[in-house]
Amino acid sequence: MIGGLFIYNHKGEVLISRVYRDDIGRNAVDAFRVNVIHARQQVRSPVTNIARTSFFHVKRSNIWLAAVTKQNVNAAMVFEFLYKMCDVMTAYFGKISEENIKNNFVLIYELLDEILDFGYPQNSETGALKTFITQQGIKGQTKEEQSQITSQVTGQIGWRREGIKYRRNELFLDVLESVNLLMSPQGQVLSAHVSGRVVMKSYLSGMPECKFGMNDKIVIDKQGKGGASDEAGKSGKQSIAIDDCTFHQCVRLSKFDSERSISFIPPDGEYELMRYRTTKDIILPFRVIPLVREVGRTKLEVKVVIKSNFKPSLLAQKIEVRIPTPLNTSGVQVICMKGKAKYKASENAIVWKIKRMAGMKESQISAEIELLPTNDKKKWARPPISMNFEVPFAPSGLKVRYLKVFESKLNYSDHDVIKWVRYIGRSGIYETRC
């Protein structure tokens, strides 16, 4: 199991050092600093073995978090734990920075004592932790409160406490998708997938039982077989094939496995209900058509056309096209029909920004790039043209069909809950080779 956990600043100074196991000595702290943080070359692996001691690290801005062990631990678990640790810290004091860590070091030690016991991760849900790790002590609690805390921390529903009350029962569902594309210069899709998340903000009283439904092809087909063929015909077209999905720990996985229904008692506040991935019938919101021509050894001509491919009534926002330029670029002239384009020498790219663009439109940029003659034998690698954007629909085609709330003990029904649904499609890694 995890033998120790260290946090360093960018210089390699230790900010937090907590040792859980006897086999980890103080020199482990220095070994990581010397061999990884101060190493000259780029990090070649997130797992490093130094003198039979293994170090797992992740970096958040310029802070290093390292977990150390001498055993054959579950590596995936260690990384998941490190991410979780970051989440917990962020939930407590915001951004993970040197200053915040120094200011909250007592709190961090207290957290580390609670969520890692002898190197075994324990309950790390912030919702539960915040009930008893408060920095104010727990003196004022009554006995009932104490046992409520412990039963929540160890219980089946560790993510939600009892007795939550809201005057207005409300929930927000965000379907956030990032669409990833790799396209060949000829316009052939090399790979494309959507990775989506359903993020829920729930402000519901009591211990509500929720059921979430979407246009999952498997569910719709099954329903179609069973009952109204008319409805199935209608919605059959709109259903989507989900390659795979993963759920927050509140979702009853065995129920999903057997009936493919998504039922759960949600945590209070914001959390990620599910993640999913689709690869079939993706709506690619933009198409990029590049044309790069080398004119002699000192000049490049670039023409890029982008086409929007969605309903004309919808508007895409924050569009940015990034056209890489060679390292020996000396000057660039750009002409674009829409938006603003600039050559950024420090980033070796022409950045073309368009604030808004409606569907089924087309826009173009052309640039002349002057090059310094070099005797560098190596050819320019021609990195792909990448794109960023945001569209108000789900490129996978996912639709939320319902989210039902049942709370039998309190007197509010599904109809009383105010529900909001929003779809946002963003670009993930959206690249076209040129």
Partner 1 sequence: MCDFPFFSLVCTGEIFELKAELNSDKKEKKKEAVKKVIASMTVGKDVSALFPDVVNCMQTDNLELKKLVYLYLMNYAKSQPDMAIMAVNTFVKDCEDPNPLIRALAVRTMGCIRVDKITEYLCEPLRKCLKDEDPYVRKTAAVCVAKLHDINAQLVEDQGFLDTLKDLISDSNPMVVANAVAALSEIAESHPNSNLLDLNPQTINKLLTALNECTEWGQIFILDCLANYTPRDDRESQSICERVTPRLSHANSAVVLSAVKVLMKFMEMLPKDLDYYGTLLKKLAPPLVTLLSAEPELQYVALRNINLIVQRRPEILKHEMKVFFVKYNDPIYVKLEKLDIMIRLASQANIAQVLAELKEYATEVDVDFVRKAVRAIGRCAIKVEQSAERCVSTLLDLIQTKVNYVVQEAIVVIKDIFRKYPNKYESVIATLCENLDSLDEPEARAAMIWIVGEYAERIDNADELLESFLEGFHDESTQVQLQLLTAIVKLFLKKPTETQELVQQVLSLATQDSDNPDLRDRGYIYWRLLSTDPVAAKEVVLAEKPLISEETDLIEPTLLEELICHIGTLASVYHKPPSAFVEGSRGVQHKRLPGSAGSGESADSPDTGSAAGVSEAPPAVIPSQGDLLGDLLNLDLTPPTTSGPPPAPSSGMQMGAMDLLGGGLDSLVGLLHAAMGAGFGAPPTAMPASFPPPVSGGLDDLFDLGGSVGMPMGAYSPPKSIWLPAMKAKGLEISGTFARRAGVIQMEMTLTNKAMSIMTDFAIQFNRNSFGLAPAGPLQVLTPVGPNQSIEVALPLSTVGPVMKMEPLTNLQVAVKNNIDVFYFSSQYPISMLFVEDGKMERQVFLATWKDIPNDNEAQFQIKDCHLNSDAASSKLQGSNVFTIAKRTVEGQDMLYQSMKLTNGIWVLAELRVQAGNPNYTVMSRLVFVLTCSGANHKDYKTESREV
Taking the C-alpha atoms of residue 392 and residue 327, their distance in angstroms, rounded to an integer, is 37
Residue 173: name the closest of 432, 434, 423 by CA. 423
DSSP code for 271: E
Check binding of 75 to partner 1 (CB under 8 A). Answer: yes
Strands of the sheet with 286-295, listed across from one edge: 286-295, 299-308, 362-371, 329-336
252 vs 307, which CB is nearer to partner 1?
A: 252
26 vs 168, which CB is nearer to partner 1?
A: 26
199 vs 315, which CB is nearer to partner 1?
A: 199
Check binding of 135 to partner 1 (CB under 8 A). Answer: yes
- Give the residues across from 70 on adjacent strands: none
**Residues in 263-292 at the binding interface with partner 1, rule: CB under 8 A:** 272, 274-275, 277
103-108 long-range Cβ contacts below 8 angstroms, 24+ apart: 105/15, 105/16, 106/135, 107/133, 107/135, 108/7, 108/16
Q: Binder to partner 1 among 9, 12, 35, 73 (CB under 8 A)?
A: 73
Check binding of 191 to partner 1 (CB under 8 A). Answer: yes
- Mapped onto helix, strand or coil, the DSSP state of residue 235 is helix
C-beta of 105: minimal distance to partner 1 in Å? 7
Check binding of 244 to partner 1 (CB under 8 A). Answer: yes
Q: Binder to partner 1 among 11, 103, 120, 311 (CB under 8 A)?
A: 120
Check binding of 60 to partner 1 (CB under 8 A). Answer: no
Taking the C-alpha atoms of residue 263 and residue 43, their distance in angstroms, rounded to an integer, is 42
Check binding of 310 to partner 1 (CB under 8 A). Answer: no
Check binding of 347 to partner 1 (CB under 8 A). Answer: no
Check binding of 22 to partner 1 (CB under 8 A). Answer: yes
54 vs 363, which CB is nearer to partner 1?
A: 54
C-beta of 23: minimal distance to partner 1 in Å? 8
Binding mask 137-156 for partner 1 (x = CB under 8 A): xxx-x-x--xx-xxx-xxxx
Tokens of 174: 């965000």
Stretch that binds partner 1, among 76-84, 168-176, 208-216, 347-355 (CB under 8 A): 76-84
Q: Residues 72, 77, 81, CA angle at the centre, nearest 5°?
A: 125
Cα within 13 Å of Cα(380), Cβ side: 21
Give residue for tokens 């809950």. 417
253 vs 372, which CB is nearer to partner 1?
A: 253
81 vs 310, which CB is nearer to partner 1?
A: 81
Tokens of 263: 């039922």
**Residues in 87-106 at the binding interface with partner 1, rule: CB under 8 A:** 105-106
Annotated binding site: 340, 342, 344, 353, 355
Check binding of 8 to partner 1 (CB under 8 A). Answer: no
Tokens of 295: 């004119």
Contact 230, 272 (CB under 8 A): no
23 vs 174, which CB is nearer to partner 1?
A: 23
- How many CB atoms within 10 Å of residue 2? 24
- How many CB atoms within 10 Å of residue 344? 12
**Residues in 23-52 at the binding interface with partner 1, rule: CB under 8 A:** 23, 25-27, 29, 42-47, 49, 52
**Residues in 158-177 at the binding interface with partner 1, rule: CB under 8 A:** 158
Taking the C-alpha atoms of residue 398 and residue 36, their distance in angstroms, rounded to an integer, is 43
Q: 418-432 and 170-183: which strand pairing?
A: parallel
Task: Give start and end residues of each alpha helix (H) in 243-304.
Answer: 253-259
Binding mask 318-337 for partner 1 (x = CB under 8 A): --------------------
Q: Binder to partner 1 among 8, 92, 212, 247 (CB under 8 A)?
A: 247
73 vs 283, which CB is nearer to partner 1?
A: 73
Taking the C-alpha atoms of residue 100 and residue 111, their distance in angstroms, rounded to an integer, is 15
Stretch that binds partner 1, among 10-18, 208-216, 311-319, 401-409 (CB under 8 A): 10-18
Q: Binder to partner 1 among 34, 38, 39, 71 (CB under 8 A)?
A: 71
**Residues in 350-409 at the binding interface with partner 1, rule: CB under 8 A:** 377-379, 381-384, 386
Check binding of 186 to partner 1 (CB under 8 A). Answer: no
Tokens of 116: 């890692």
